[in-house]
Amino acid sequence: MKEAELVAEVLAEVQKRLACPTQKQRVVIGGAYSGYVPFYDGISAEMAQEALIVQLPIGSMANLALGAAHTPEESFLLQMLLTAKPVKWLKSGLLYQQYRETAAKTLWQKYFLYEDNLRQAGIIFVDDTVKQLKASIGEQKRSLITEAAAKEIISAGLKEIHLPQKTLLTPLAADLLNNSAVTVVWEG
């Protein structure tokens, strides 16, 4: 085989692997979030492990609740739901909530029902856990990190946590964090 042909074949293989990553990705839509890659055209539910919605336009929320897709992001999210992959939505990203006092009651209730429809379709609405976890672990000087706390840290997408020196980390929590590539930094 000629050198040029070999280079061409290797280059084709590299490009193929870059286009179709072997590791499933955690995809974020509508913002940035630690541990997630931003949504991009061409990603499919097959390539994704889970999706996190930081924020989405109100119209997109309605489209998803009705099972319709008019944008690449909406198509991706419907594909995720149809293939039973986890889709999480930060509660702070439910934009209709800010109009509770000013919107016509029937309109606001319609969006409230859309939220319920999305929950029934499989979307998990979560608090902004990163902020809460940082507060509970860091500022409040949590003295014990258990398996349950480790699972919260992992599901929040944190890749690094800072713990006071006196914090106790249970062996199971330590294993979970280590296996999920979460770095523990001991302070103090």
Using DSSP's 3-state secondary structure scheme, residue 110 falls into: helix
Per-residue pLDDT, 110: 95
The answer to whether residue 61 scores a pLDDT higher than 90 is yes
Query: For 142, phi and psi rounded to 5 degrees?
Result: -50, 135
- Residue 172's Cα: distance from chain center in Å? 24
What's the pLDDT tens digit per position in 75-91?
999 999 999 999 999 98
What's the pLDDT tens digit per position in 148-174?
788 878 777 777 787 888 888 888 888
Angle (CA) 130-143-152 rounded to 5° is 30
- 19: Cβ–Cβ under 8 A, 6 or more apart, which residues? 42
What's the pLDDT tens digit per position in 125-148?
987 755 555 555 544 455 788 887
Using DSSP's 3-state secondary structure scheme, residue 41 falls into: coil
